Amino acid sequence: MQLREDIRNIAIIAHVDHGKTTLVDQLLRYSGTFRENEQTDDRMMDSNDIERERGITILAKNTAINYNDTRINILDTPGHADFGGEVERILRMVDGVLLVVDAYEGCMPQTRFVLKKALEQKLRPVVVLNKIDRPNARPEHVVDEVLDLFIELGADDEQLEFPVVYASALNGTSGEEPEAQEESMEAVFKTIMTNIPAPIDNSSDPLQFQVTLLDYNDYLGRIGIGRVVRGSLKVGEQVTLIKKDGSTKSFRVSKIFGFLGLKRIEINEARSGDIIALAGLEDINVGETVCPSNHLDALPILHIDEPTLQMTFVTNNSPFAGREGKYITSRKIEERLMLQLETDVSLRVDPTDSPDAWIVSGRGELHLSILVENMRREGFEIQLSKPQVIIKDVDGVKCEPVEHVQVDVPEEHTGAVMESLGSRKGEMVDMVNQGNGQVRLEFKIPSRGLIGYSTEFLTQTRGYGIINHTFDSYQPVVKGKVGGRRQGVLVALENGKASTYGIMNLEDRGIIFVEPGTEVYAGMIVGEHNRDNDLTVNITKEKHLTNVRSANKDQTSTIRKTRQLSLEEAIEYLDDDEYCEVTPESIRLRKKILNKNEREKATKKK
């Protein structure tokens, strides 16, 4: 059996924030891929604005590095549970994985999720203990934790003999011992070369190429990214695409791109083991196979996780519609959602009875809110309904998604967290006292119990708690109300500008969301009520001025700090009878029925 010793294909997997993208940066720098005077940024692989602002990887991306005479193809994967669909497919393209684990935090929920997928694919692991320079780093304990996790997930003997490299990606150091750190990534490269198997060279066999990722380009249309599993492929060659439903379509390969550093390079030929991008067919999809017309042999279809959460996207019909955005018509919004489907395979868009509304389903709140954030930056105005979990029928039983939640909190806050998760139908699975004042709690909880919980959690733990959750399974629906908002809201009575006087009069009634001078309309939510009922208030009220001076002189008016909601917080905050209005400049909450009398009638009918 011949091997292609000039290539290694690896994926970097880890929990969110454990340093995958920073590690790829250092590998790129130390491999000499860039010229000495070439300008490079930190976290080079996080190429879009939202990834840079939030410091998270959203889309899986690939790069390639030349190390000595070997081309190392590296795939950087997202660490967030909402983008787990990306990780699963990536693992089909590689022969081994670099599992990055934080030397202080150890194994986290997403570490378990991504490692389980890698072990199922029989991939060879290399463990990189990152952030070894952290003051509280505990490398020996974390290696034991990783070994326990491998055993628990059913790793075979070969996988259990994993090599460990210690590194600080931020400082650009690595070594085979925690204390012996050198200012280079040589230890990581050597471990990859000796432990990750080279791909099999079967270039003389008939072609098989499977699409794993999609990209889109205005000039070339859809671009399929994947690995040549068998055979070879040339530009201009006539090949056949085997679709998911078994139908076939012939096309000519117009362009083949290879990868090096952050660039795509046009190449004329690719052989088995190469990771390439292919252009030439407009309706190519993830999981489909390209093969020669005279030898049709499809690879197994890739499994893509089903969406677990859905929201209704509605065209903006508020009194302020069209003031701030460029695109507000249903035609433009539908076009944009369809364009998103070109590259995002975990997303679903379904029409409704109304031509102005669509049901958009995704893998979680973050997945959907990133789409909304991108749309508002492009100039769209939309309204969003409260997120709902997707109920599935499993053998005639109605089932809902259940999440595995891991919480790290200071000891003094454990009671409050356990009580609030218990009230949301959470079931405690494990509790470990770390011995340094921190307690780790693990729960199984219905996904709908977590909607809107993060803000409450931060308040309960005064910002010191860390919560992580990943999709666990579908379980029979829990009866009764789970989660949801307990407080009512303050709703504006009429159109106008919020006044300082109006806000001061309302401060005893609850928390205000708008600053003085903000334009409001009747039916817009301007604050949170202290009680559980909604209250219609006059926030635009001005002080009645007379020419009589008061004895105690007018003191300078001061108002409390208002609460500004981010996009995620606003979406989580919604109730069933409310919309979140999103425009390029504002995020407003409103009632679906703006008129006070009509709203009260509808409530009575309920």
The pLDDT, as a whole number, for residue 260 is 83
Per residue in 386-418, pLDDT (tens digit) is 888 888 888 888 888 888 888 888 888 888 888
Integer Cα distance of 534 and 516 in angstroms:
21
* Residue 581 binned pLDDT confidence (cut-offs 50, 70, 90): very high
Q: Is 131 annotated as a binding residue?
A: yes
Whole-model pTM: value is 0.78
Q: Is 194 annotated as a binding residue?
A: no
Q: Is 414 annotated as a binding residue?
A: no
| Helix intervals (H) in 476-566 | 500-506
Per residue in 239-267, pLDDT (tens digit) is 888 888 788 888 888 888 888 877 788 88
Q: Is 191 annotated as a binding residue?
A: no
The pLDDT, as a whole number, for residue 49 is 61
* Residue 584 binned pLDDT confidence (cut-offs 50, 70, 90): very high
pLDDT above 60 for 52: no
Per residue in 322-349, pLDDT (tens digit) is 888 898 899 999 999 988 887 777 788 9
Per residue in 270-318, pLDDT (tens digit) is 888 888 888 877 778 788 888 888 888 888 877 777 788 899 999 999 9
pLDDT above 80 for 433: yes
* Torsion 336-341-346-348 (CA) sign: positive
Domains of the chain, with CATH numbers? 7-195 (3.40.50.300), 208-292 (2.40.30.10), 393-476 (3.30.70.240), 489-545+558-574+588-605 (2.40.50.250)
Integer Cα distance of 47 and 61 in angstroms:
9
* Residue 569 binned pLDDT confidence (cut-offs 50, 70, 90): confident
Q: Is 20 annotated as a binding residue?
A: yes
pLDDT above 80 for 435: no
80-84, 258-262, 378-382, 433-437: range with lowest mean pLDDT: 80-84
Q: What is the mean pLDDT of residues 36-44?
A: 46
The pLDDT, as a whole number, for residue 403 is 85
Per cent of the chain over pLDDT 70 is 91
Using only C-alpha atoms, the chain has a radius of gyration, in whole angstroms, of 27
Residues present in the chain in total: 606
pLDDT above 50 for 42: no
Per residue in 88-146, pLDDT (tens digit) is 777 888 888 888 888 888 887 777 777 887 888 888 889 998 888 888 888 888 889 88
* Residue 50 binned pLDDT confidence (cut-offs 50, 70, 90): low
pLDDT above 80 for 424: yes
The residue with tokens 């409704």 is 352
Q: Is 392 annotated as a binding residue?
A: no
Cβ(28)–Cβ(10) under 8 Å?
Answer: no
Query: Cβ neighbours of residue 407 under 8 Å, at least 6 residues apart?
Result: 417, 421, 440, 441, 442, 443, 457, 465, 466, 467, 468
The b/e string for 336-369 (b: 16+ C-beta within 10 A; e otherwise) is: bbeeeeeebbbbbbeeeeeeebbbbbbbbbbbbb
pLDDT above 90 for 215: no
The pLDDT, as a whole number, for residue 367 is 83
Integer Cα distance of 344 and 146 in angstroms:
32
Paired tokens of 182? 């050198």
Integer Cα distance of 85 and 343 in angstroms:
12
Paired tokens of 166? 């210690």
Q: Is 18 annotated as a binding residue?
A: yes
Cβ(212)–Cβ(93) under 8 Å?
Answer: yes
Query: Cβ neighbours of residue 37 under 8 Å, at least 6 residues apart?
Result: none
Count CB atoms within 10 A of the CB of residue 53.
10
User: Backbone phi, then psi, for 166, in 5-degree steps?
Assistant: -105, 135
Q: Is 22 annotated as a binding residue?
A: yes
* Residue 460 binned pLDDT confidence (cut-offs 50, 70, 90): confident
Per residue in 368-387, pLDDT (tens digit) is 888 899 899 999 999 999 88
The pLDDT, as a whole number, for residue 55 is 57
